[in-house]
Structure 1
Amino acid sequence: MGLASLPFAGSAAQAQDLSLNANRKIFLDPGHGGHDPGAVGNGLREKDLTLDIAKRTRAILDDHGYQTRMSRTSDVHVDLPDRAAAANAWGAHVFLSIHINAGGGTGFESHREVNATDHTRRFNSTVHRRTIAWMRQTASITDRGTKETNYVVLTHANMSAVLTENLFIDNEANANLLRSPNFRQDIAIGHFYGVDTFFN
């Protein structure tokens, strides 16, 4: 699949969606960076994968008319509270933090803060459902479900915030998928569709 499968074939609907999306601010947060590599395994580093996926997601959102910003666009360290603070200062409508898991498991999961609003629960559910659907076009992916966790970037964000854990870097089969640019593109498309479905 890939970009050819995305909407916008050139139509009045395309112009309408671009107009609607122009006022929607999406803040993307690639996990870790700089002196903090995040999880490491099978020759991969979380900070590299999350930045690549976030940049791919941003490119698709930009192509569809959304306003986007990122907590980092290069290999630098950003403190956790500062990530949420940047989204708050900008007035983002949603906050999406992208991570890779570790610890001996397998599959995809996503997180929202404890006692999240219905709006955030719906955002979480939509991003989760659409992202794993795109992953599953390539391989059989375990659905680890949605979870409630008081991570700093979630609790400090003033808007609906979700954190995704995109497979396990220390699982060889998962790592082999993450190593593929095509699979990382599918993850990005899934994140895009999660956002786009939520708004549209």
Structure 2
Amino acid sequence: MVRIVLDAGHGGKDSGAVGNGLREKDLTLNIVKKIGNLLAEYEDVEVHYTRTDDRFIELSERAAIANKLKADYFISVHINAGGGTGFGSYIFNGNVSNAAVAYQNVIHSEIMKAIGNVTDRGKKRANYAVLRETHMPALLTENLFIDNKNDAAKLDSEQFLLQVAYGHVQGIAKAFGLKKKAKSQPQQKSSDGKMYRVQVGAFSDRKNAERLAEELKKKGYPAVIV
């Protein structure tokens, strides 16, 4: 059993970065819930959250939650600010395990594949509390810039946030060798008997687009790759 702790950055009195009508704390919670929902489709994985609603939690408490659970992995989801653009990921800049480095390499790559034409800011290291104080391999992702108009337009899209979450999940599944549950779900039809097309963003990797299309089909949404 792989135990994953998902941490939605900020919350409550701490809104995190703000810009273009968006708040970091709302976006991170949205993404984390999507990650958890997608991970539920895999075998032998246990998902925990540091928060599932809009509440303030100290950084040390976030790490303590993961440590108490003896988690196998910790991911903290954030949105960047400061005038840049693109996606970046961080592990602790002190002593880290080889596993932490390997997991960052895999997950970073899968997220970049999933989110399409976005600047890759690279795999970095930093002395962030949630990376420093967790006792297991940990990763912090910075998913675009809330104060960049073009980035914010993407972040304001549920479709794009699903792609961000999907990239995280593909990375986790690949890093830990997770397998999908062998359970087929019947395709659902709308009440009027019609079928509606769902278009979900752009992918830089066709295989990722095909996998997400399959996910949507299982949930009853006809998905077409164009």
Q: TM-score range by the shorter chain?
A: 0.7 to 0.9
What corresponds to 2:196 in structure 1? none
Report the AA paired with residue 31 of structure 2.
I
Choose the corresponding residue for 1:179, options 153, 156, 161.
156
Matching of residue 40 in structure 1 with residue 18 in structure 2: yes
Query: Whole-Å Cα distance in 2 between the matches of residues 182 and 50 of structure 1?
Result: 15
Q: Which residue number corresponds to residue 38 of structure 2?
A: 60
Distance in 2, matches of 1:117 and 1:143, equals 24
Describe the SS at the equivalent of 2:40. Answer: helix
Structure 1 unaligned spans of 5+: 1-22
| Equivalent in the alignment of 1:72 | 51
TM-score by length of 1: 0.86
- Report the identity percentage: 45
| Residue of structure 1 equivalent to 2:212 | none
> Cα deviation per residue 1:93-131 (whole Å; 9 max; x = unaligned)?
000000000000000000000132211001111111001
Instruction: Report the Cα distance in structure 2 between the residues aligned to 1:78 and 1:127, rounded to whole angstroms.
Output: 25
Count residues in correspondence.
Answer: 175
Output the CA distance in 2 between the equivalents of 1:63 and 1:37. Answer: 31
> What amino acid does structure 2 have at the position aligned with 1:149?
A
Q: Give the distance between the partners of 1:37 and 1:29, measured in 2 at CA.
A: 15
Match of 1:192 in 2: 169
Which amino acid in structure 1 is aligned with residue 9 of structure 2? G
| Alignment partners' CA distance in 2, 1:97 and 1:90 | 16
Rounded to whole Å, the distance in 2 between the matches of 1:147 and 1:96 is 15
1:1-200 matches, cutoff 5 A: 23-65=1-43, 66-114=45-93, 115-136=95-116, 140-200=117-177
> Any idea what the Cα deviations from partners look like across 1:141-171, whole Å, max 9, x if unmatched?
0000011101000010000000000000000
SS in 1 for 2:130: helix
Give the structure with the higher percent helix: 1
Kindly provide the amino acid, as one letter, of the partner of residue 29 in structure 1.
D
Question: What CA distance in whole angstroms lies between the structure 1 residues aligned with 2:171 and 2:29?
Answer: 18
Radius of gyration: which is bigger? 2
Q: Secondary structure at 1:63's aligned position in 2?
A: coil
Q: Deviations over 1:41-92 (max 9, x none)?
A: 0000000000000000000111213200010000000000000100010111
Distance 1:194 1:155 in 2: 22
Runs of 4+ residues over 3 Å off in structure 1:
none
Tell me the SS of whatever aligns to 2:124: strand
Letter in 1 for 2:29: L
Higher relative contact order (CA 8 A, sep 6+): 1
SS at match of 2:4: strand
Deviation at 1:33, TM superposition (A): 0.1
